[in-house]
Amino acid sequence: MAVFTLIGAAIGAAAGAAVVGGAAAILTGAAIGAGIGLAVGSVKKANDATKQAETQVDIITETTGEITEVGEQVTVLQGEQIGIQKEVAAQQQQQERLSVQRQRRQAIREGQITRARQANAAQAMGAAGSSAVSGGSASIGSQLSSSLGYSSQQSGLSENIFQGQQKNLDLQGDINTLYGKANVLQSQISIASARAGQFSSQAQSWMSTAQLGLNTGMRFAGF
């Protein structure tokens, strides 16, 4: 800006000397030229600051778009989480139902075994092949088979629950990473916003200086 002011002053002084002549005319011309030079230099500075402010605004717009994309990704992952949590809850409910059913069946079989033992105790030693003994043996065998089936079902459900919970944790980790990215982007927006405000203030200040220089030049010119 000082360069423009000095150039303007020199040009104004030369013009004053050429057109009017005399020290007063030279000083007046220098003052007019200096004012115009100040105005021109300040306008250039204001334009540069405005462009920098616009650049920061572009950064804010672009970064805001990135945050929106991150939010959409989080929404998708949270939807997957909800689905997995529902599946895990369903598997856990199935486990509870199987446990209740097993307890009921076990109670029934225990009652059958107890009745069979009581009947066996009441019979003579030669009744080893009686229906009571056979019924008790069959009930015991049925109970063993049922226990094995129950164990397999519970094991399968437990594995499904574990895998679901692990996937849920993995998704939560991805979501937390996205939240961290969003926080970084938000910080970038805050910085860009502050810079945009600074450059905008600088542009306004330079325009005020330009107006001051123009007013000074016009005042010496008699306007």
Would you list the domain boundaries of the chain? 2-221
Burial 74-93 (b: 16+ CB within 10 A, else e): beebeeebeebeebbeebee
* Nearest Cα residue to 35 out of 57, 14, 64, 4: 4
Distance of CA 171 to the CA centre of its chain: 13
Between 94 and 173, the higher pLDDT residue:
173
Structure-block tokens of residue 23: 């020290």
Tens of pLDDT along 113-126? 777 777 766 675 55
Give residue 130's region: left, alpha or beta (phi > 0; psi -120 to 50). beta
Q: How far, in Å, CA of 91 to CA of 153, rounded? A: 11
Question: Using 50, 70 and 90 to split pLDDT, how confident is the model at 65?
Answer: very high
Judge whether 154 and 98 are in contact, CB under 8 Å. yes
Distance of CA 192 to the CA centre of its chain: 18
Query: Which of 10-19, 56-65, 86-95, 100-109 is least confident?
Result: 10-19
Q: Is the pLDDT of residue 17 over 50?
A: no
Between 53 and 215, the higher pLDDT residue:
53
Between 223 and 165, the higher pLDDT residue:
165
**Residue 20 φ then ψ, to 5°:** -105, -50
3-state helix, strand, coil in the chain (%, to 5): 95, 0, 5
Judge whether 168 and 85 are in contact, CB under 8 Å. yes
Q: How far, in Å, CA of 117 to CA of 139, rounded? A: 11
What pLDDT score was predicted for residue 8?
37
